[in-house]
Structure 1
Amino acid sequence: MPTTDPAAALKGFLQPVGGYKGYGLSLAVDALAGILSGAAYLTHVSSWVDAPESLQDLGHVFVLIDTSKLGQPDWLAERMQDAARILRGTPAREADRPVLLPGERELAALFAAKRNGVALDQDVARLIVKILDGL
């Protein structure tokens, strides 16, 4: 049942990333991106706030899933579209800021730039012309 009451939403629903689930998720990510990659992990990662001159030695992990092994492509596309529909239909906390999916804002900016061009500061434009004149 849809609700805008936070207390009602949390009753029997997904909890925020925190508690034991957040702890487990952060350990899994740290094990993959830090321990397995040979990079720093846990307390071995230097803080860029406390020690900005120190190397952080951050690691990365990329997970690739061959979705063709999961069945027909239409099945996955339908489920992804349904998930997107559900997320976009979520009531926004602020009416003028709708719920967006990752990358939607950037994609909208790309389309706007293709339609209208890229806004360029006058000083930057002059600098570009100066550099191009020197080529």
Structure 2
Amino acid sequence: YKGFGLSFVIDVLAGALSGAGCSGTPGSRLGNSIFMIAIDIERFTPMELFLRRVKRFIEFIKSCPLAPGFDEILIPGEPEIRTRKLREREGIYVDEATWEQIVKAAESVGVKL
């Protein structure tokens, strides 16, 4: 039920507060609605303690039994971190057709690649 509660509050803040409307609201505009929140962690707990707690929580999550067909548990952001490291190491693959479109678009505005 925690997941539902969290999802509900986020929908209210990002939907109702932003004016985009909550999920399932007839006539609400579709697209991205923006909601940002900034938290000064040290107003609640020392940063070092917070980071230790998060690290312990991640270790707990990763120690859970794996679902059939999976070889590891990833936390939010981990796939993106891995992709970034891969791109930094190997570059970003662009297929030939896409590259040709990029070159044509660049040339159309006077940029030579």
**TM class, shorter-length:** 0.7 to 0.9
Q: Please list, as runs of the form range in 1=range in 2, the aligned pairs for 1:11-90 lying within 5 A after superposition.
A: 17=3, 22=4, 24-41=5-22, 43-46=24-27, 55-56=29-30, 59-90=33-64
The answer as to whether partners of 1:37 and 1:59 remain within 8 angstroms in 2 is: yes
Q: Extract unaligned runs of 5+ from structure 1.
A: 1-14, 47-53
What is aligned with 2:76?
102
TM-score by length of 2: 0.73
Cα RMSD, aligned residues only: 2.8
TM-score by length of 1: 0.63
| Count of aligned residue pairs for this structure pair | 109
| Corresponding position: 1:131 with 2:105 | yes
More relative contact order in 1 or in 2 (CA 8 Å, sep 6+)?
1
* Partner SS state of residue 98, structure 2: helix
Range 64-73 or range 102-111, more displaced? 64-73
**Cα deviation per residue 1:9-31 (whole Å; 9 max; x = unaligned)?**
xxxxxx684xxxx3x44543343
Q: Identity of paired residues, percent? A: 25
CA–CA distance in structure 2, aligned partners of residues 101 and 116 of structure 1: 24
**Cα deviation per residue 1:77-110 (whole Å; 9 max; x = unaligned)?**
1111111111122222135441100111111011
CA drift at 1:57? 7.1
